[in-house]
Amino acid sequence: MIEVKNLRKSFGDKLVINDVSAVMQSGKTNLIIGTSGSGKTVLMKIMVGLMTPDVGEVLYEGKNIVDMEEKELKEIRTQIGMLFQGSALFDSKTVEENVMFPLDMFTKQSKADKRKRVTEVLSRVNLDGSNKKFPSEISGGMKKRVALARAIVLNPKYLFCDEPNSGLDPQTSLVIDKLIKEITLEYNITTVINTHDMNTVMESGDHIVYMHKGNKRWEGSNKEIVFSDDQELNNFIFASDFLKKAKEMSMIEAQGQSPKR
Ligand SMILES: Nc1ncnc2c1ncn2[C@@H]1O[C@H](COP(=O)(O)OP(=O)(O)OP(=O)(O)O)[C@@H](O)[C@H]1O
């Protein structure tokens, strides 16, 4: 479990994270949602230790990583997999070399063992036989899957994904969401996804944290989110008339009445 407690972060006189406390549940797909500029990325960067909060704690299984000694922090970093927004693959390296990179950096495994592990994770993301291809030769969805394979190659306990669906069509987005969710369950990973994709929210959001103007405004599951009476959250999730209508219908049905025509 990852827990953040009373986090606060300002840039100059601009407060961008305001006393945020939240829990990222173990073995679950946790989502951070909110409009652009609400503080999602800053919150995620603080959680992975790429940014230091002005005040507050980030606890990994109870251990605070803020102000942690570099040696101990390094150990936790090896348990973290990250999927960046633009996939962030090395263009001059093959798929295999890209996925092998963390193994080269953090392990002393033999080349044969590393190859075996890379082939294993590439197969898990349904990319058998793509080892020798270059990023320029594969589609955006495949690049995301390579990046996901790289993120899980060290068997992480924690997986952070920043906008995993950016730049993908809705169908390919679903494939990526499904894969992340399956992998989270299969390997019992604590996954944190930063997103404003409502499909992801409804399909994958075991636990959701809604950020609004630097504040945590709501926290709950995808079963609860559609029934929230928080006006800001409703404006965010039901941005279209179509979705507003769908909500009205499902609330009427939940009350056991048949929807009005
Ligand atoms: N390094 C920085 N220096 C100054 N201001 C920053 C910095 N990083 C973020 N901010 C500000 O903090 C606020 C929150 O930014 P953040 O990137 O966390 O938003 P977000 O919710 O992730 O938005 P998006 O969905 O567009 O990525 C914004 O007002 C942004 O301009």
Instruction: Give the CA dihedral 33, 216, 22, 226, nearest 10 degrees.
Output: -50
Higher confidence at residue 250 or residue 205? 205
| pLDDT at position 258 | 54
Task: Kindly give the distance from the C-alpha atom of residue 212 to the centroid of ligand 1, in angstroms, as a whole number.
Answer: 12
Ligand 1, closest atom to CA 34? 21
Cβ–ligand 1 distance for 11 under 6 Å, the answer yes
Torsion sign, CA atoms 228, 229, 233, 236: positive
Q: Using CA positions, which residue lies closest to atom 12 of ligand 1?
A: 16
- Contact at 8 Å (CB) between 116 and 109? no
Q: What is the mean pLDDT of residues 189-199?
A: 91
Task: Kindly give the distance from the C-alpha atom of residue 41 to the centroid of ligand 1, in angstroms, as a whole number.
Answer: 6
Question: Residue 260 above 70 pLDDT?
Answer: no
- For the ranges 27-31, 123-127, 169-173, 237-241, which has the lowest average pLDDT? 237-241
Cβ–ligand 1 distance for 242 under 6 Å, the answer no
- For the ranges 50-64, 138-152, 237-251, which has the lowest average pLDDT? 237-251
Q: What is the mean pLDDT of residues 117-138?
A: 93
Cβ–ligand 1 distance for 13 under 6 Å, the answer no
Question: Residue 8 above 60 pLDDT?
Answer: yes
Question: Residue 134 above 70 pLDDT?
Answer: yes
Cβ–ligand 1 distance for 42 under 6 Å, the answer yes
| pLDDT at position 261 | 45
Q: What is the mean pLDDT of residues 243-261?
A: 65
Q: Using CA positions, which residue lies closest to atom 6 of ligand 1?
A: 11
- Write down the architecture of domain 2-226 according to CATH: 3-Layer(aba) Sandwich (3.40)
Task: Kindly give the distance from the C-alpha atom of residue 42 to the centroid of ligand 1, in angstroms, as a whole number.
Answer: 6
